[in-house]
Amino acid sequence: TPPGRIRNFCIIAHIDHGKSTLADRMLQETGVVEQRLMRAQYLDRMDIERERGITIKSQAVRMPWAVGDRTLILNMIDTPGHVDFTYEVSRSLAACEGAVLLVDAAQGIEAQTLANLYLAMENDLTIIPVLNKIDLPSAQPEKYAEELAGLIGCDPAEVLRVSGKTGEGVPELLDHIVDLVPPPVGDAGAPARAMIFDSVYDTYRGVVTYVRVIDGSLSPRERISMMSTRATHELLEIGAISPDPVPSKGLGVGEVGYLITGVKDVRQSKVGDTVTGASRPAQKALGGYKEPRPMVFSGLYPMDGSDYPILRDALDKLKLNDAALVYEPETSAALGFGFRVGFLGMLHLEIVRERLEREFDLDLISTLPNVEYDVVLEDGTHVDVTNPSEFPGGKVGSITEPVVRATVLAPSEFIGAIMELCQSRRGVLRGMDYLSPERVEMRYTLPLAEIVFDFFDALKSKTRGYASLDYEPDGDQEADLVKVDILLQGDTVDAFSAIVHRDKAYAYGVQMATKLKELIPRQQFEVPVQAAIGSRVIARETIRAIRKDVLAKCYGGDISRKRKLLEKQKEGKKRMKMVGSVEVPQEAFIAALSQD
């Protein structure tokens, strides 16, 4: 296809504003998916995406669209909306010339609307502002057209109105895309350069890599090279998705499609990397390749210790499909053998955990998530701490923690509540703007550790659900942090150690000591539960002793009943973990590590 007849665009929006639904309607309008085969969230192929109603992986589909007597090729890229996957969104955007900026006509602009708009502007995309869900009785298209027009600096009349649900306005939107989005430009005669914007592992075909060709062309059977590693592979298959993979004779300037080389691991075909021809390689890679960086760490342990090899194999398998997943073996005195796993964020953690449990039939315990700390000892050596139990024992010079730049959007009546919340999370206000008289944008610098776990829930509950949040990494800062240990009868329970701000150490200690006192059954002896910073105890509870002699209950009773009781006791023992001489039921660990 000549570039003049190609339009590459993506749909960007705040989560739930209707990207996937609009994408579905476009597939239908263009006849790519037949009416009778249509199902909701057509492009969200993973079960977990469909169940949660979210998009995790980007998708690219080629759709024919006739305008007058010309048939154009529209390549639509559906992107994941969540902050954990921002890097993938930004690569998808770099593969396009235009972006449909979708805003829910009953909600207005939200934090990720802004974040995605800024990403699109950084990539010099033509922005097409669109209000969605105009079929809703609560839609306020006039009001929000004005808000959106004000944001991007256009006339409110230029804001299109559609309903992804009913299909109203969708053909007009497709016509607009043809008119407004510039066709791709590139040098057809130059050495091939194609950008990888997604890479997925398929059990049958190995890694399927999604690319956008910038210069030159790629054809089947030629040898290609990955510019970041110089590794070469044979191109076994190349083609476009429409909506299933259709092999072709190659991809040229501006075209979007997939390629298969037979590699078995997505890390050999990384998002952001540049593909070139091995026989006539390009000199310069396309900009933008970035190693995904784990931000949140947690220990994952099988409930049943004998499942450890299954967990190890399961992680190895998931990694084939998830370049961002990192892990290394770890042992815990309390939980046994497991792994310390690094994640992009909490959603990524939840997804990985759910996939491990579902696809590999594992029951897992995860420790309290933490961020990565850089601890500088007094002699100047740096220690990278991703697990609180690795926190160095001796004199510590300084500790730095990652921080984020956060944007909160909310009705202005909630300014006070938001300030209070951010202050309690060690936030520093960086600026505030009114998007309209009743809608405000607040920018904060916050420690990642304070925002990543329950901040969003707290924000939602303080603003009756009206606030939205977006954040991006913004370097590190020094902070007054300490490690709090939890001790049972003088023995540290490694799984409960946490790195917290000094002002919050006492609260954490008291909370854990109280929880454990309730969760751990009485033993034959008294058990002190303590929280300590180094050797200084900051909180203490006591589990009182009992004499539990089950057999005494059936004194003189018949022998079979006695045996039954003994067996029951043995069963219970199996699910007990020993911490020093204290028996702790596994449920107590799970309950104490759960975050509520």
Binding positions for GTP: 16-21, 132-135
Task: Give the shortest CB-41-to-ligand GDP separation in angstroms.
Answer: 6
Task: Give the shortest CB-55-to-Mg ion separation in angstroms.
Answer: 4
DSSP string, 315-372: HHHHHHT-TT-EEEEEEETTTEEEEEEEESSHHHHHHHHHHHHHHS---EEEPPPB--
Binding partner of 75, given ligand GDP, Mg ion, none, CB within 5-8 angstroms per partner class: none
Question: Would you give the binding string for ligand GDP spanning residues 417-446, x where CB under 6 A is met?
Answer: ------------------------------
In the complex with ligand GDP, the residue whose CB is nearer, 58 or 389, is: 58
- CA distance linking residue 583 with residue 573, whole number of Å: 8
Task: Give the shortest CB-19-to-ligand GDP separation in angstroms.
Answer: 3
Site for ligand GDP in 9-38 (CB under 6 A): 13, 15-21
For residue 242, count other CB atoms closer than 10 A to its CB.
Answer: 19
Nearest to 587 by CA among 575, 571, 574: 575
The three-class DSSP label of residue 449 is helix
Tokens 């500088």 label which residue? 376
User: Which of 8, 30, 55, 463 is the binder for Mg ion (CB under 5 A)?
Assistant: 55
H helix and E strand count, the chain: 15, 31
User: Which of 46, 126, 135, 354 is the binder for ligand GDP (CB under 6 A)?
Assistant: 135
Binding partner of 217, given Mg ion, ligand GDP, none, CB within 5-8 angstroms per partner class: none
In the complex with Mg ion, the residue whose CB is nearer, 81 or 402, is: 81
Question: Would you give the binding string for ligand GDP spanning residues 81-120, x where CB under 6 A is met?
Answer: x---------------------------------------
> φ and ψ at 535, to 5 degrees?
-100, 5
Span from 132-140, 200-208, 209-217, 436-444 in contact with ligand GDP (CB under 6 A):
132-140
- What crossing angle do the helices spanning 86-94 and 111-122 adopt, rounded to 10°? 40
For residue 333, count other CB atoms closer than 10 A to its CB.
Answer: 15
Task: Give the shortest CB-54-to-Mg ion separation in angstroms.
Answer: 6
Span from 127-135, 200-208, 252-260, 271-279 in contact with ligand GDP (CB under 6 A):
127-135
In the complex with Mg ion, the residue whose CB is nearer, 22 or 344, is: 22
The strand ranges marked E within 156-205 are 160-161, 193-202
Burial 561-593 (b: 16+ CB within 10 A, else e): eeeeeeeeeeeeeeeebebeebbbbbebbeebb
In order of 8, 9, 33, 470, the CA distances from 112 in angstroms are: 22, 18, 29, 6
Task: Give the shortest CB-241-to-ligand GDP separation in angstroms.
Answer: 18
Is position 463 an interface residue for Mg ion (rule: CB under 5 A)?
no
User: Contact 177/7 with Cβ under 8 angstroms?
Assistant: yes
Q: Which residues contact 36 (CB under 8 A, 6 or more apart)?
A: none
In order of 203, 241, 254, 258, the CA distances from 247 in angstroms are: 18, 9, 17, 9
- CA distance linking residue 447 with residue 458, whole number of Å: 16
Strand pairing partners for 468?
Answer: 409
Please write down the long-range contacts of 448-451, taking CB distance under 8 Å and 24 or more positions apart.
448/295, 448/371, 448/401, 448/402, 448/403, 448/404, 448/473, 449/370, 449/371, 449/401, 449/402, 449/499, 450/425, 450/426, 451/404, 451/406, 451/425
Task: Give the shortest CB-469-to-ligand GDP separation in angstroms.
Answer: 15
User: Which of 8, 11, 14, 20 is the binder for Mg ion (CB under 5 A)?
Assistant: 20
Task: Give the shortest CB-164-to-ligand GDP separation in angstroms.
Answer: 4
Residue nearest to Mg ion (CB): 20
Task: Give the shortest CB-15-to-ligand GDP separation in angstroms.
Answer: 5
- CA distance linking residue 357 with residue 169, whole number of Å: 42
Task: Give the shortest CB-108-to-Mg ion separation in angstroms.
Answer: 19
Number of residues that bind ligand GDP (CB under 6 A): 18
In the complex with Mg ion, the residue whose CB is nearer, 55 or 407, is: 55
Task: Give the shortest CB-463-to-Mg ion separation in angstroms.
Answer: 24
The DSSP letter of residue 306 is G
In the complex with ligand GDP, the residue whose CB is nearer, 92 or 274, is: 92
Task: Give the shortest CB-428-to-ligand GDP separation in angstroms.
Answer: 31
Question: Would you give the binding string for ligand GDP spanning residues 32-71, x where CB under 6 A is met?
Answer: ---------------------x-x----------------
In the complex with ligand GDP, the residue whose CB is nearer, 111 or 440, is: 111
In the complex with ligand GDP, the residue whose CB is nearer, 19 or 57, is: 19
Number of residues that bind Mg ion (CB under 5 A): 3
- How many CA atoms lie less than 13 Å away from 513 in the CB half-sphere? 25
Query: Roughly how many angstroms between the first and final C-alpha of the chain, as a whole number?
Result: 56
Q: Tokens for 450? A: 């304070």
In the complex with Mg ion, the residue whose CB is nearer, 37 or 40, is: 40
The DSSP letter of residue 512 is H
Q: Tokens for 286? A: 């396309």
Span from 133-141, 241-249, 285-293, 310-318 in contact with ligand GDP (CB under 6 A):
133-141
The DSSP letter of residue 508 is H
In the complex with Mg ion, the residue whose CB is nearer, 85 or 258, is: 85
In the complex with ligand GDP, the residue whose CB is nearer, 99 or 493, is: 99
CA dihedral sign of residues 531, 533, 535, 536:
negative
Binding partner of 376, given Mg ion, ligand GDP, none, CB within 5-8 angstroms per partner class: none
In the complex with ligand GDP, the residue whose CB is nearer, 91 or 133, is: 133
Task: Give the shortest CB-104-to-ligand GDP separation in angstroms.
Answer: 8
Question: Would you give the binding string for ligand GDP spanning residues 137-176, x where CB under 6 A is met?
Answer: --------------------------xxx-----------
Alpha helices, DSSP H only, in 432-484? Answer: 448-451, 455-462
In the complex with Mg ion, the residue whose CB is nearer, 21 or 530, is: 21
Binding partner of 13, given ligand GDP, Mg ion, none, CB within 5-8 angstroms per partner class: ligand GDP
Residue ranges in contact with ligand GDP by CB under 6 A: 13, 15-21, 53, 55, 81, 132-133, 135-136, 163-165
Contact residues: Mg ion, CB under 5 A: 19-20, 55
